[in-house]
Amino acid sequence: MSENKNLKEEYVPLKSRISVSGADGIVAFAQTIIGGGTLTYYFTTTRGLDPIYSVIVLSLFGFWNIINDPIFGSISDRTRHKLGRRIPYIRYGGPILGLSYILCWLPIPGTESNQLIMFFQFLITLFLYDTLYTAVATSLYVMPYEMAVSNKARGTIFIWKVIFSVFAMATPLFILPALKPSSSGDLTFYILFHIILGIAVGAIVFLSTFFYEEKVHQRQEEPVPFIDSLKKTLTNKSFLIFEIISFTIIYVQSGLMFGLFYYTDELETNFLALILMLIVGVFVGVYLFIIKGHEFGVKKSMQIMLASFSAGCFLILILGRFLIPTMIGFIGIGMGLCGGLYLIPMMNGDVIDYDESVSGERREGMYAGVNSFVTKYAINLAQSAFLLIIGAFGYISTESMVGNQDSLAETGIIIGWMLIPALLLFVCFIAMYWYPLDGPEWQGTKQKLAQIHEAKEKARLEELGIKYEE
């Protein structure tokens, strides 16, 4: 233990924490809009695309992610570039990502009523955007693990990521309802908003890469063959439990945003009151999971978060026609959103560290790629399931019926919005019982791994003629 005390405290500069988190936040902002269902809502309700076509696009999109995400994760793990394994994709992919985002929203003149052309526009632009999103977001996702080893040092990055992520998730809730166009309205201002956002995404992501860097020793690691890397990833028990949690959190986040549009369209409610309760829940989550989280540990914190999140969804499912119970439910949802943003990357970092402690290899990109596939499939499934459920309850997807659905359709909106999330979150709460990375033995493994990383970093720096500062 005395040797551990002699190790220098791992530190990530403030400018690095803010810049990588800011880039991640602006990308998350754009993805919250598209992944949260706004693009689907735009095509189906504003542009008039048949919902069946949307379901087809989202289904094809899910199959593409089976190929796209794990392969890119492996490619980034095997990348050898002077900037590192991840930064090249962030720096050069960011501007193209911004452009692809803009293309998603630009209507093709003369195709306003052509279902087939709208279908292919939705399909092609979404695929283009997603491919660039995979390259940039996956790299940003694993950067904290490239920048630091200890949970304490990573936590200083994740706190900033939570701040920017809360902004990325909450701001669209205020902006999008105000900007939401009708099929007969002028789309100029709405499209201009997305153009400006796309430019901001490209610029911020590109500029951010000049303020952080990867650990030197991790740039030099030998690449792991794709099949071997995928096999070891999928046989990591802790990762499989993590993926159940990760899938559910993204499913719920996407479904909440998507369903909120329909809920506020059809049921009389105080939208501002719900958002205020959501913010209250976020602050409670900050206290429990960030300020006090080190006392509970990742596992217990995750269990508290899942229980609160599930309870909030069940409450709205049962009493979602009444304001007070819905407001209370949104406190639980706010706690869940905050906890998910902070605890998911912490949990994922432990999963990756455990793999390295067993195999001696690091494969952040493969883990991020598989996780990206799972989470993006969750986004597609959440939107498709919601559309199918409300359709089964008689929801009519035309502009003239917005705000005029019958009682059965309103019930379908509440069920489609909250039933599956509530059940999935409860299942995750139970699954965490078998999560093994917790307790003194795991903390000892983390300390040994920190020593190994520090020794590697020192050796690599000295090979390059760079002094290692104790």
Residue-wise pLDDT tens digits, 81-108: 778 788 999 999 999 999 999 999 998 8
| Tokens, residue 179 | 């900007």
Q: Helix H segments across 148-270?
A: 151-179, 188-208, 216-219, 226-234, 237-266
Q: Which two tokens stand for residue 169?
A: 């998730």
**pLDDT at residue 377 above 80?**
no
The pLDDT of 294-305, averaged and rounded, is 90
User: How far is residue 192 CA from its own chain's centroid?
Assistant: 25
pLDDT > 90 fraction of the chain, expressed in percent and rounded: 32
Residue type, 308: S
Give me the pLDDT at residue 404, please.
76
The pLDDT value given to residue 317: 96
The span from the CA of 44 to the CA of 30, in Å, is 19
Report the C-alpha gap between 171 and 173 in whole angstroms. 5
Grade residue 219 by pLDDT with cuts at 50, 70 and 90: low
Residue 138: partners with Cβ closer than 8 Å, 6 or more residues away: 69, 72, 73, 76, 89, 365, 368, 369, 372
Buried b (16+ CB within 10 A) or exposed e, 345-374: bbbbbbbbbbbbeeeebbbbbbbbbbbbbb
Q: How far apart are CA 86 and CA 415, in angstroms?
A: 41
Contacts of 422 (CB under 8 A, 6+ apart): 310, 313, 314, 317
Per-residue pLDDT band for 20 (boundaries 50, 70, 90) equals very high
The pLDDT value given to residue 2:
37
Q: Which residue has the tokens 């809920």?
A: 263
* Per-residue confidence (pLDDT) for residue 268, from 0 to 100: 76
Which pLDDT does position 402 carry in this prediction? Answer: 61
Residues in the chain: 470
Token pair 């904290």 is at which residue? 144
User: Nearest Cα to 379, choosing from 25, 22, 40?
Assistant: 40
**pLDDT tens per residue across span 99-140:** 999 999 998 877 677 889 999 999 999 889 988 998 898 888
Report how far apart, in Å, the C-alpha atoms of 463 and of each of 61, 216, 251, 452, 467 are. Answer: 45, 11, 46, 17, 10
Helix 364-392 to helix 226-234 angle (10° resolution) is 60
Lowest mean pLDDT among 53-62, 145-154, 194-203, 380-389: 145-154
The percentage of the chain sitting over the pLDDT mark of 70, rounded to a whole number, equals 84
Which span out of 234-238, 299-303, 340-344, 455-459 was modeled with the highest average pLDDT? 299-303
Question: Could you read off the pLDDT of 399-424 as tens digits, one per residue?
Answer: 566 667 888 989 999 999 999 999 99
Q: What average pLDDT score do residues 274-301 get?
A: 88
Least confident of 33-42, 186-195, 386-395: 33-42
Q: What residues contact residue 268 under an 8 Å CB cut-off, 6+ apart?
A: none
Asked if residues 161 and 21 have their Cβ atoms less than 8 Å apart, the reply is yes
For range 216-223, the mean pLDDT: 57
**Is the pLDDT at 343 greater than 80, yes or no?**
yes
Per-residue pLDDT, averaged over 314-318, amounts to 96
How confident is the model over 242-250, as a mean pLDDT? 92
* Cα distance between residue 235 and residue 202, in whole Å: 37
Q: Among all chains, which residue has been given the structure tokens 């659905």?
A: 405
> According to the model, what pLDDT value does residue 65 have?
67
Structure tokens belonging to residue 177? 């309802």
Which residues, 6 or more positions from 181, have their beta carbon under 8 angstroms from its beta carbon? 46, 187, 190
What's the Rg (C-alpha) of the chain? 22
More confident of the two residues 171 and 344: 344
Domain boundaries, the chain: 11-463
**Winning range, highest mean pLDDT, from 177-186, 230-239, 428-437, 441-450:** 428-437
| Helix boundaries (H) for 36-114 | 38-41, 51-78, 87-105
Q: How far is CA 108 from CA 117, 231, 294, in A?
A: 9, 44, 52
| Per-residue model confidence (pLDDT) at position 6 | 44
Q: Measuring CA to CA, which residue among 99, 86, 80 is closest to residue 144? A: 86
Rounded CA separation 408/411 (Å): 5
90 near 156, Cβ under 8 Å? no
Output the pLDDT for position 216.
58
pLDDT at position 329 over 90:
yes
| The pLDDT of residue 8 is above 60 | no
| SS3 assignment for 351-402 | HHHHHHHHHCCCCHHHHHHHHHHHHHHHHHHHHHHHHHHHHHCCCCCCHHHC
- The model's confidence at residue 182, banded by pLDDT at 50, 70 and 90, is low
Give pTM, 2 decimals.
0.71
Q: How far apart (Å, rounded) are the C-alpha atoms in residues 154 and 171? A: 25
pLDDT given for residue 5 in this prediction: 44
- Determine the topology of domain 11-463 in CATH: Growth Hormone; Chain: A; (1.20.1250)
Please say if the pLDDT value at position 466 is more than 90.
no
